[in-house]
Structure 1
Amino acid sequence: MKSVKRTMGTMALAAIMILTVSCKDGNKEEAPTPMSSEMHQETMSGDEMAMNNGQDAKAEAILHEYFNLKDALVNDDNGKAKELGNTLAKSLKAFDVSNYSDNEQSELKDIIEDATEHAEHIGESDIKHQREHFKTLSKDVTDMVAITGTDKKLYEQFCPMYNKNEGGAWLSMNKEIRNPYFGAQMLKCGKVQREIN
């Protein structure tokens, strides 16, 4: 029994060491997995995941505002993140889903409702809570991009250390890791999970 406990303790210690080492500033990124016109979704079927070829200027504007918000969190700028959260919430509320199929409209309405709520919370919170809401907002924006499409090459990035090692993903237009969940504290913690183009 003692040997089992010792083995389990050793394995737990090894896991902690691996996570710690993986998020040092000198880490090497793994090669991202290229994704052409589909994104992995847990809530959508394969056919629904295919990105639309038609581009929507308002969807692109929302994506641009999301990246500005991400950059404010990377820079630990609570005030700018509040401002951008409110701007993003307004843009999400104004997004017109009528150009999409009935199924896509239904999905987009759910995504936009959830994303708007998180953007509004970011607009009125301290930076710790902004980052908590940004995690869910990032999933919402990723889900939205799966439907609306984009002409930009995006990178889904992931930090395994965020939220007591639960981890958190975000989108970026750059391969280089700039962590919005830790900012200057652990700026380069994370890796590219996949490319979205």
Structure 2
Amino acid sequence: MKTLKKTNILAFILTVLVFSCKENKTSNLEKSNDQLSRKILAKEATKITFNSSDAGDIFERYIELRNALIESDAVKASKVAMKFDSIEGGDYEKINEVALLIGASDELDSQRLLFSELTTLLEPVIKDQLAGGAVYKQYCPMAFNNDGATWLSSESVIRNPYFGSKMLNCGKITETYTE
């Protein structure tokens, strides 16, 4: 009877330890992903400059949103998209509206569809305001049931926001904007 009690206590302690370690690993993995995203964002943000600080801010948020979609993190994408409303002005009004729709959604597929629209709206602003560096227009022919979709990046490396890790490298550069 005493042995059975000790075995049950030992089993309980091991279970608690296993689940505690498991939660820690998840937490560390999430921290690692966040740190990687911040490093990528910082690297990309320092490569290009814009004539307007608003254009620079909105492109930085766009890259952060793109990274959340690459990670297939709908919650993070929603939080990032909600930051767009702080930039005001005629050129940015429709961009902000679409970004806020992304922020209001918790569905990754809807966010990705709206991100495609956001890209279309943001592209002329980025082209017009680019002062230094390079912005790459990238294209995935398989997005949205083979209709295809584009996104912008300041790196030539393909990191697909429409499929995330499922097809991370699917795509090609279709244009390069430089100033």
Q: TM-score range by the shorter chain?
A: 0.5 to 0.7
Confirm or deny that 1:77 pairs with 2:57: no
Shift in alpha-carbon separation, 1:67–1:54, aligned structure 2, 3 A: closer
Q: Deviations over 1:110-135 (max 9, x none)?
A: x5232112101110111110000000
TM-score normalised to the size of structure 1?
Answer: 0.62
Q: Which residue does 1:133 correspond to in 2?
A: 114
Q: Deviations over 1:93-121 (max 9, x none)?
A: x24xxxxxxxxxxxxx2x52321121011
Q: Which residue does 2:21 correspond to in 1?
A: none
Distance 2:50 2:74 in 1: 35
* Preserved contact between residue 137 and residue 150 of structure 2 (Cα < 8 Å): yes
User: What SS class does the counterpart of residue 135 from structure 1 fall into?
Assistant: helix
Q: 2:159 aligns with which of 167, 175, 178?
A: 178
Q: Which residue does 1:36 correspond to in 2?
A: none
Q: Deviations over 1:19-72 (max 9, x none)?
A: xxxxxxxxxxxxxxxxxxxxxxxxxxxxxxxxxx97111211111110010001
Q: What amino acid maps onto 1:118 in structure 2?
A: V
Report the CA distance between 1:141 and its aligned residue.
Answer: 1.0
* Preserved contact between residue 60 and residue 150 of structure 1 (Cα < 8 Å): no
Q: Which residue does 1:116 correspond to in 2?
A: 96
* Preserved contact between residue 50 and residue 132 of structure 2 (Cα < 8 Å): no
Paired positions, count: 129
Q: Which has the higher strand share?
A: 2
Q: Which has the higher helix share?
A: 2
TM-score normalised to the size of structure 2?
Answer: 0.68
Percent identity of equivalent pairs: 32
Segment drifting more, 150-159 vs 60-69:
150-159
Superposition pairs of residues 1-197 of structure 1, within 5 angstroms: 55-91=51-87, 94-95=88-89, 109=90, 111-125=91-105, 126-197=107-178
Q: Higher relative CO (CA 8 A, sep ≥ 6), structure 1 or 2?
A: 1
Q: What amino acid maps onto 1:83 in structure 2?
A: K
User: What SS class does the counterpart of residue 123 from structure 1 fall into?
Assistant: helix
Shift in alpha-carbon separation, 1:54–1:135, aligned structure 2, 3 A: closer
Q: What RMSD over aligned residues (CA atoms) do the two structures have, in Å?
A: 1.6
> Where does the alignment leave 5 or more consecutive residues of structure 2 unmatched?
1-48
Q: Which structure's CA Rg is the greater one?
A: 2
> Where does the alignment leave 5 or more consecutive residues of structure 1 unmatched?
1-52, 96-108
Q: Which residue does 1:35 correspond to in 2?
A: none
